[in-house]
Amino acid sequence: MQGLLDYIRINIQNWIQDGIVYVPVLLIVITIHEYAHAWTAWRLGDTTPVDTGRLSLNPLRHLDPLGTVALLLFRVGWARPVMIDFTAFKHPRRDTVLVSLAGPASNFATAIVAYLLLLLVRSSPAIVTQFPYVYRVLESLVEFSVGLGVFNLLPIPPLDGSKAFFALFFKRPERFLYDRAVDLYGTVILLALLWFNIIGGVMDKVLGFIFYTLLRL
């Protein structure tokens, strides 16, 4: 009985320690991602992100409660999508691609900045020893940013890659971009691919290559 209690206590402690690192990292990564969508759309002439309160760095404006819980528990979740008015753009196809890719691009930019800071911290063993939390946050920020950026490039609704794909290759992309039925069917397909670890296998290879390259650098 005592062994079981010790096991539960250790797991709770580990969960809390991981949460202290992962929660702020997730807030940063998700907020930057969604803000990038909103800011890009606004700069290209769509005021919808402003009207709906999404042109903000306040994480609460972007979080979906259920999606956040899923992200914390299963490392797969979602934020509230930024609503975009396709017809507000001067160049609908081009601008839709730019807005769609702005989120993943912001994640890669975040990863680069966090990686440079991580290299700076690693150059001084004393800093790593004295501030292990900072080191873990930067390390997780690189991992989550790259992971979210790559995942969202998949051309499966409702991910960002699908919107860029529709805008580039479909004659009337507006029929698919913000259709809830398309997003619903895409979500079912996405969950099935995740369940059978097809996406997981692809992501592992891609992320493994990226992190291996970063380590060599």
Q: How far is CA 120 from CA 6, 114, 127, 144, 160, in A?
A: 38, 10, 9, 19, 32
Lowest mean pLDDT among 30-39, 70-79, 202-211: 70-79
Measured distance between the N- and C-terminal CA atoms of the chain, rounded to whole angstroms: 49
Residue 120 has a CB neighbour count (10 Å cut-off) of 11
Of residues 203 and 75, more confidence is placed in: 203
Residue 45, helix vs strand vs coil: coil
Q: Is the pLDDT of residue 164 over 50?
A: yes
Instruction: Please pick, among 34, 139, 143, 174, the residue that the annotation labels catalytic.
Output: 34
Q: Is the pLDDT of residue 49 over 90?
A: yes
Structure tokens at 79: 């934020």
Q: Report which of 138, 134, 147, 145 is spatially closest to residue 114, judged by C-alpha positions.
A: 138
Annotated active-site residue 139? The verdict is no
Q: How far is CA 211 from CA 73, 97, 111, 208, in A?
A: 23, 27, 11, 5
Residue where the block lists tokens 């039925």: 181
CA angle 101, 200, 61 (to 5 degrees): 45
pLDDT, residue 7, reads 42
Give mean pLDDT, residues 130-146.
89
Question: Distance between CA 177 and CA 168 in Å, rounded?
Answer: 11
CA atoms within 13 A on the CB side of 146: 23
Domain extents in the chain: 2-216
Residue 134 has a CB neighbour count (10 Å cut-off) of 14
Residue 39 near residue 102, CB atoms below 8 Å: yes
Structure tokens at 197: 């670890």
Torsion-angle region of 45 (φ positive above 0: left; ψ -120 to 50: alpha; else: beta): left
Residue 155 near residue 162, CB atoms below 8 Å: yes
pLDDT, residue 17, reads 64
pLDDT band at 6 (very low <50, low <70, confident <90, very high): very low
Q: Is the pLDDT of residue 59 over 90?
A: yes
